[in-house]
Amino acid sequence: MQLKFTDIGENTFIDIIDSNGIVIASSKPSRTLTYCDYNKFFSTIINSKRERVTTCHQCHDQEKRKKSTNVVAFVPLEMAPWGISIQEPEVDVFEPSMHMKKTFVTLGAIFIGTAFMLAMGISRSVVDPIKELIKATDRISKGDLSEPVAVQGSDEIGVLSRSFEIMREKLDRSIESIKNYNMELEKKVRERTRKIKEGQQRIENLLNKIISTEEEERKRIARNLHDDTIQDLSALLMKIDMCKLYPEQISANKIDGIREIVLKTLDGLNTAIQNLRPSLLDDLGLEAAIKWLLDIHLGEKGTNIFYNITGAKDRRFSQDIEIRLFRIIQEAIANISRHAAAENVFVNFKADNNHIILEIEDDGQGFDVKTLFQQTVHARKDFRGLGLLGMKERASLIGGNLDIHSVLGCGTMVSLKVPLKTEEREDV
């Protein structure tokens, strides 16, 4: 029996097989009534009523013993112990998929080539600007900020390029600002170094002045003691010896003469002691000490003194402030007495809860303050003006500010302002 089908292919055939493995009917007449149940494969699946898809080898050329692999689909019938087997060469079964595979491979190769070309184009459009940015950053890292960063496009690379250009401009301005600051700093350092050297020179001059002043003061004290005190004591000793030799000639007049010599000696010693450390400053305070300075330096020479005190009458300050103010005033009044040739001197002393303000003015011959200070700073042996520097140094030690104003032929004014600390504001 032959089954008739249309368009099932040359190598495809359909068999109806019974439970004994005999082909009852086939699309190929040569297979009808042939035995094809190898290893009872079909008998087993017909009896078990199971569908099966598998492969088998079909011999096409008995002489060359060439075999091909077929795909077998078997379906048992429900109403009879038969089954339908459809066999087709594996090559034919998978030919569409192989064709589709080849098509996919071809399309894949085309897509890969297209993607590669597209990637190359995109890469060039991205890599080239990045290379330019790398070159620009390399120049910037080496300190070359003169060449601007080229801005390419409006995409992310362009935004990055603009950001680099803004950074370069800001960095250039910052470096220029740093250079200017360094130049200004070097200038300040040189100025500060010069001031330090001047300060060191001033300190050296002040030390020399102190040593010289101490020696001069010792000479003056020794001379005064020799000229006055020792001579008076020698005269006193001679009178005492005369009285001892001629006790009968002792009279009231001789005793009064001896007493006068003793009083004169005491006055000389008291004056020397007052010059070294006036007891008035310790006992009666700054006001009394200032008046004493004015009297012994200016009053005895006939200079007119105008003294005004406000807020400091009978008031005591700390020991450091009082002694330094006293030395500043002593130097100022001594300078007026020695050099100014003034007819009138005005002293204004004012104290409140926060400051002490002192002004000493004269109508003497004056001097050139700037020139005198320059000579004092640079001279090593000429000590003119060191007294003024000493006044400034003493004022700075108590936090004060001392100003000296003078014009040749128009007199001099010394102004001092000293802040008072909390513990110095109350009377002591």
Instruction: Identify the pLDDT of residue 155.
Output: 67
Q: Which of these three, 92, 111, 132, is where a domain ends?
A: 92
Q: Phi first, then psi: give them for residue 320, nearest 5 degrees.
A: -60, -45
Instruction: Identify the pLDDT of residue 425.
Output: 45
Tell me the pLDDT tens digit for each residue of 315-371.
888 888 888 888 899 889 988 988 888 899 999 999 888 889 999 999 988 888 777
Q: How many domains does the chain have?
A: 2
Instruction: Give the residue from 8, 7, 12 showing the smallest Cα distance to 68.
Output: 12
Contact 32, 26 (CB under 8 A): yes
Domain presence at residue 35: yes
Domain presence at residue 409: yes
- Residues of the chain scoring pLDDT < 70: 1-10, 37-39, 57-68, 123-127, 151-155, 157, 213-214, 217, 220, 224-227, 272-278, 373-386, 422-428
Instruction: Give the residue from 17, 40, 15 showing the smallest Cα distance to 29.
Output: 15
Instruction: Identify the pLDDT of residue 153.
Output: 64
CATH of the domain at 414: 3.30.565.10
CA distance 267 to 235: 16
Tokens of 306: 């105008």
CA distance 318 to 1: 145
The SS3 assignment for 11 reads coil
Domain presence at residue 223: no
Sheet holding 355-362, edge to edge: 304-310, 344-351, 355-362, 411-419, 401-407
| 59: containing domain | 13-92
Q: How many CB atoms lie within 10 A of CB 407?
A: 13
CA distance 101 to 97: 6
Given the DSSP bridges, would you call strands 401-407 and 355-362 parallel, antiparallel or unpaired? unpaired
Domain presence at residue 354: yes
Domain presence at residue 352: yes
Tokens of 401: 């500010």
Q: Which of these three, 23, 58, 92, is where a domain ends?
A: 92
Q: Which of these three, 28, 57, 92, is where a domain ends?
A: 92
CATH of the domain at 25: 3.30.450.20
Phi and psi based region of residue 142 (left: phi greater than 0; alpha: psi -120 to 50; beta: remaining): alpha
Domain presence at residue 113: no
Domain presence at residue 130: no
Bridge partners of residue 84, in order along the sequence: 16, 75
CA distances from 254 to 99, 240, 247, 362 (A): 161, 10, 11, 47
Domain presence at residue 100: no
How many Cα neighbours within 13 Å face the side chain of 115? 6
